[in-house]
Amino acid sequence: MQNRTKNFIKRFVLFLVITFVVSSMFVYPKMTIADHIDSELVQSTSTTKEIQKVFPDAAPAPKKNTGDEPPRNLQDVKVIPGGQSIGVQLETKGVLVVGHHLVNGNKGDISPGEKAKINVGDVIVKINGEKIKEMSDIKSYVEEAGKNKKMMDVTVKRGKSTIDTKLEPVLDEKEKQFKIGLYIRDSAAGIGTMTFYDPVSGKYGALGHVISDMDTKKPIEIEDGSIVHSSVTSIEKGDNGIPGEKQARFEEGNHRIGSIKRNTDYGIFGVLEKEIDHEKYNKPFPVALSHEVEEGPAKILTVINGEEIEEFDIEIVSSVPQNNPSTKGMVIQITDPKLLKETGGIVQGMSGSPIIQNGKVIGAVTHVFVNDPTSGYGVHIEWMLQDADIIPHREEKQTAA
């Protein structure tokens, strides 16, 4: 696996004796990270690129922040808009396979994992019937099977299917270590922007789109996760054909401010566990349905320096009333002179920045047009509220052919 440039830092989390190289997705060491994720291109009328980076702090958390409150009607919902930069730490369900490599065995070069028909994107969930939670769980099974010349019974999850296979480790002739020829990863980290926080339930939503693995391009299935405070250290301006990005730092450890329970097409969702401040908005705002969104002026909240949340002018170029969930509900354009000067428009890390119009939270920034960084897509807030389990999920309406 190759190290990326300054656009993002890739850390080899663990180089197991079996040569499992771990490179987490929005990776971080226990220090400053370059907040960047290589995102897949999204095809549309304009070429777009996902902006996977910034989660915000919200306002005072309720005294009892359990997240167990049932969904309620949209007209009863008021949320506190976000805008804060947050660090994201994810742990996968099982161990994700992100690549194959050859092992120099006595019968030639071979990848035992590939021979066992384990594919990139598979998730190793069991070995010899025992649950696998992290990469370090695998090492002892490989050594034992290799020394005893036995097969390992490996269970992988591939999409919605569960597949059993047998894998025999091979002794690397040069390194004298048993290997299985797979690159794996069990965690990911990066930054993003918080969209909203519900003061009634303690639930929050951030990012506005799914977090995908940078190698497999598939959504990450999470076992656990947390959000932490983050500080923006610099901005790389965007230009035509070159998306800009926020760079930020955060610390792992005891700085957790909330859980991550879901990673969906509409963002990440969980429950806040600590109070977080909001400099501009400390009272709840009503939310708007897609048909209430108007073409014309609006505001976004985001951080471009340190932890200061700022308000910037944008234009809603178009908005599509939606009866069913869809990730691209609005086309937006940055019009604020300061934001254009500092960032060039929408940059990676701005994803999740809340959009406010007519005193209501209407959605979040999600994508930038690569060929025009002043413009991009936004998602309607209703779909984020559904996935946060703050409002009930609508039954999808069928259209007659």
- Known catalytic residues? 209, 336, 351
DSSP H or E run through 142:
helix 136-147
Query: In angstroms, rounded to a whole number, what is the distance separating the alpha carbons of residues 329 and 159?
Result: 27
3-state helix, strand, coil in the chain (%, to 5): 10, 45, 45
Query: Which structure tokens are listed for 106?
Result: 């006595």
| Spatial separation of the C-alpha atoms in residues 21 and 119, rounded to whole Å | 16
C-alpha radius of gyration, the chain, whole number? 22
3-state secondary structure of 225: strand
Closest CA to 391 of 383, 399, 380: 383
Which amino acid, 344?
G
On the 0-12 / 13-18 / 19+ scale of CB atoms within 10 A, 167 is buried
The span from the CA of 101 to the CA of 185, in Å, is 14
Element (H, E) at 100: strand 85-100
Q: How many CB atoms sit inside 10 A of residue 214's CB?
A: 25
**Residue 383 three-state SS:** helix
Q: Give the other-Cβ count within 10 Å of 388's Cβ.
A: 29
- The identity of residue 351, as a single letter, is S
**Cβ-based burial of 350 (10 A; exposed 0-12, middle 13-18, buried ≥19):** buried
> Which tokens hold the place of 268?
């990440």
Give the total residue count for the chain: 401
Q: Rounded to an integer, what distance in angstroms lies between the CA atom of residue 375 and that of residue 318?
A: 11
Bridge partners, 285 (sequence order): 79
